[in-house]
Amino acid sequence: MTAEASGEELAFVKMHGLGNDYVYIDRFAEQTVFVPETLAPRVADRHRGVGGDGLILVEPSAVAAARMRMFNADGSESEMCGNGVRCVGHLVVSRGYVPAGEVTIETGRGVLTLGVTPTGPRSSQVRVDMGEPLLEPESIPARAEGLRQLVDVPATVLGSQADWWQAAGLDPRMTCVSMGNPHVIMFCDSVAAVPLEQVGPLVERHELFPRRINVHFVQRLEANRVRVRTWERGTGITQACGTGASAVCVAGALSGRTTATITAELPGGNLELTWDGRGSVFMTGPAEEVFSGVWPLTDASR
C-alpha cells in the first residue's frame, strides 16, 4: 500500500522570501513517500490547500549541505528559485543541520554558496552566490538563429503594438538571460500599466522559448534602483522572483540602463543585487518561516 492510499500525514513548513511563498518538505526528517508533481498543485492551491507559489523539497545531498528541488504551482519542476534557496538555507541552519555562515545548496543549476545570518528564531538574512548568467540562446534556451546573445533585441514575442504599450511607455526591446532558469526582461516607464495577467502567459509560452520562460517588466527609477513585476513560469504573477531580479541586474548592466549594483523593488519587498560584468551575480534578501503543519496524503491523491 502506498503512503497516499494509507492515510499518512506529511509534515511541512510554509516559508517565504519577500512574499514568494512555498510549501517546504524537510526530507532529512520526513521519509513518507509521495509524488511531488501530484502534490504540488494541491498544496499550492490558495483556496483548497496550504497556499503558495509551489512546493520545494529539502533533501540530503552528496555534494552540499542540502539539495533543493522546486515544483511550480502547476506541478512542473524548475531548475532554481532565488527566494526559495534563501529559505532552504534558513531551514538547514535553523534546524541545526549545519551552522550559520557559509552554506552550500545543490540546485538544478549546480551547487550555490549562501551566507546565512539568523535574524530571529524564524528568520534569516541570506546572501546568495547565484552563479554566472548564461547569455547564449541555446543556454536559455531561446530560438535565435545567428545571434550570440539576445540583448536589447526586438521584442517580437509581444506581436503587433497594443493599446497598453503607450500607457506603459514600453521600450519594445527584450533581453534574455538564464540564471539556471530562463528569463526575458523588458523595460518600460510604468510597470503598473502593463496588463501582466494578459501579456505574461502569452510571452511565457511563445514559440521562441521551447521550455517556456519567466517574464519581467522593469521600470528604471534611478541608475541603481528599479521596480519589477513578474509573471513566473508555471505559477503566474508572484510577489518576488530572486533569479528574475538577478537576471534584471544583468540585463540592466548589459544594456547600460543601470549600474552594476541595484536595489530591485518587488511587490513583496526589496532585493539587493550586484554583478561585476564577468562572474557571479550576488543577491541578498530575507527568508522567513510562516507556520508548520501536516498535510493528509489521502487528500493529495484524490
DSSP state of 29: T
Give start and end residues of each alpha helix (H) in 45-157.
82-94
131 dihedral zone (left: phi>0; alpha: psi -120 to 50; beta): left
d(C-alpha 57, C-alpha 110), whole Å: 16
Q: What are the beta bridge partners of residue 120?
A: 123
DSSP state of 201: H
Instruction: Find the catalytic residue in 87, 176, 241, 249.
Output: 241
Instruction: Find the catalytic residue in 81, 176, 188, 249.
Output: 81
For residue 241, indicate whether it is catalytic.
yes
Instruction: Name the burial class of residue 253, with classes exposed (0-12), middle (13-18) and buried (19+) by CB atoms within 10 angstroms of its CB.
Output: buried
SS3 224: coil
> Among 54, 55, 52, 68, which residue's Cα sits nearest to residue 19?
52
Q: What are the beta bridge partners of residue 59?
A: 67
For residue 249, indicate whether it is catalytic.
no
Q: Which sequence positions are flagged as catalytic?
A: 81, 241
